[in-house]
Amino acid sequence: MKVIIIEDEKPSARRLQRMLEKQRMHVHTMLHSVEEAREWFKTNTHPDLIFLDIQLSDGLSFEIFETIDIKSAVIFTTAYDEYALQGFKLNSIDYLLKPIDEDELVRAVKKYKERTHRAAPVTVDFSEIKKLLINPIDRAYKKRFSVKVGQHLKLISTEEVECFYSENKGTYLYTVSGRNYLLDVTLDQLEDDLEPQTFFRVNRKFFLNVNAISDIISYTNSRLQVKLNTYNEQHIIVARERVKDFRNWLE
């Protein structure tokens, strides 16, 4: 069986590849952009199965198939949820929410294999799903967080947060007033709760508020160092694989 992964975040693609190899599935190719995928499909036989990230660095992955008649089954890997999932279900497509859970991946692959064993056709209406993603229902991102202070709960608006960070297996928010508060969620769980135009995950340890950035400095190995208005407890370095997305986010 020929499998490819189309995913712009290379660490995520490699992680998915390792998870698939545990299921004895060989990944033939990993592609990382709309343009790269278009060129690949021009000269290669279509795979049996594609793991397809929706949002690539140079556009929506559906653009790959605007001029290509897809002949492959598709399992989406996506950070979108709720409103988009209805479109996936209507089109009999499987999907995996990021960060991908290994048990969910096992179930998705099993479902694909059962479908192909029954010789059931896999039909993908990319145009309909694309409409859902380009004109989505407004998402309700978190506006505040409740934190425990002694025996009390304190509400903190996201506007007051300079950054979220992980340390010693805990997740913290840091406020513009210079206070740290422990949260009961992980950074991965925060990813779907934060408004993406305001907050960006620069590495495994930090989400930053764009309004809190005071300076950006070139750093070793094509990375960037970010300084915030108040927070100065650790160096904040944009991971090399995140630099391009970070620059685009700033624009």
| pLDDT tens, position by position, 83-114 | 455 445 544 467 888 888 889 899 999 988 88
- Tokens representing 45 are 């036989």
pLDDT for 61: 82
Pairing of β 180-183 and β 3-6: unpaired
CA distances from 157 to 20, 76, 142, 154 (A): 40, 33, 9, 10
Q: CB neighbours (10 Å) of residue 163? A: 24
CATH class of 3-134: alpha beta
Q: Which of 14, 10, 65 is nearest to 37 (CA)?
A: 65
Q: Which residue has the higher pLDDT, 82 or 78?
A: 78
Q: What is residue 129's DSSP assignment? A: H
pLDDT for 90: 43
pLDDT for 118: 57
The CA R_g of the chain, rounded to the nearest whole Å, is: 20
pLDDT for 125: 60
CATH code reported for the domain at 144-250: 2.40.50.1020
User: H or E segment at 41?
Assistant: helix 34-43
Global pTM reads 0.52
Band of residue 69 on the pLDDT scale cut at 50, 70, 90? confident
> Domains of the chain: which residue ranges?
3-134, 144-250
Q: Do domains 3-134 and 144-250 have the same CATH topology?
A: no
| pLDDT tens, position by position, 210-230 | 999 999 999 998 899 999 999
